[in-house]
Amino acid sequence: MRHDFLDRHSRIQSPVHSLPAGLKLAACVGLMAATAAVPPGSFAVFGAIAALLVVVAVASRISPRFLVSRLLLLEPLALGVAGLALLQPGGGRIFAAVVARATICLFAALLLSSTTPFAEIVRVLRRLRLPKLLVTTLALMYRYLFLLTDEAQRMQRARAARTFRVDRARSWRAAATMVAQLFVRSTERAERIYAAMLARGWR
């Protein structure tokens, strides 16, 4: 099982990593709020905030290739949210502003997750007295993402071991079948885990 694919960089030594988790979480939320409050046409302000995040990224000593690849992986979310602005008259400027806001917020969240172990973030959320059900759900989601990824890798290895001829159409059909099977297995495992938790007195 790959135990570090989510926060593999969260325990390296850097000035940013050494900061308290509560301070980093507050700074991330504050920066997101400030970014959301920036007027749509203030692209100079967006650029200044982005430059600040780049400085933090450099100080964190995290591989730029890793940060860029993760940001590009998340960028379709920003484009999807901003795409609705194109339906409005003169929506190009609003589209660019929404993309800038969403990208900055995603980059800030990426830096937070890459410089802070998730267990510390959960502890901060508990100290802030967030609803226990929400915090527990986040902790369980994080924990079982590893099991889900491990299950997907086992299924992919098994399919590769049984496939001797590969073409694009066959690959897409196999991927769709694997996703469906993974969904079914995940649902069954979630039901078993929930039953086991109830049997141990969890409410």
**Per-residue pLDDT tens digits for 11-40:** 888 899 999 999 999 999 999 999 988 887
Q: What gap in Å lies between CA 128 and CA 118, rounded to an integer?
A: 15
Is 43 in the same domain as 101?
yes
- Check whether residue 25 and residue 104 sit in a common domain: yes
User: Tokens representing 201?
Assistant: 């007195």
Residue with tokens 């929404």: 98
138 part of a folded domain: yes
Local structure of residue 63 (DSSP, 8 states): -
Shared domain for 86 and 141, answered yes or no, is no
pLDDT at 56: 94
Phi–psi pair at 116, nearest 5 degrees: -135, 120
pLDDT of residue 85: 63
Instruction: Tell whether 46 and 107 lie within a shared domain.
Output: yes
pLDDT at 76: 84
Whether residue 98 is found in the same domain as residue 188: no
Give φ, ψ of 159 to 5 degrees: -65, -40
Domain match, 106 and 138 both? no
Q: Are residues 27 and 95 in the same domain?
A: yes
Does the CA dihedral 88-91-95-98 come out positive or negative?
negative
Residues of the chain whose pLDDT is less than 50? none
- In this prediction, residue 87 carries a pLDDT of 62
Residue 87 sits in which domain range?
21-125
Distances (CA, A) of 84 to 8, 19, 94, 106, 152: 35, 38, 10, 18, 33
User: How many structural domains are present in the chain?
Assistant: 2
Same domain? 110 vs 184:
no
**Within-domain flag for 121:** yes
Whether 120 is in a domain gets the answer yes
3: in domain: no
Q: Is 4 among the domain residues? A: no
Residues 108-122 have pLDDT tens digits of 999 998 899 888 999
Residues 34 and 121 placed together within one structural domain of the fold: yes
For the four alpha carbons of 44, 45, 47 and 52, in that order, the dihedral sign comes to positive
Closest by CA position to 99, among listed 89, 85, 114, 87: 85
Neighbouring residues of 178: CB distance < 8 A, sequence distance ≥ 6: 152, 155, 156, 159
Are 31 and 47 found together in one domain?
A: yes
142, 103, 111: which is closest to 14 by C-alpha?
111
Residue owning tokens 């007295």: 129
- Are residue 117 and residue 55 in the same domain, yes or no? yes
171 in any annotated domain: yes
Asked if 25 and 89 sit in the same domain, the reply is: yes
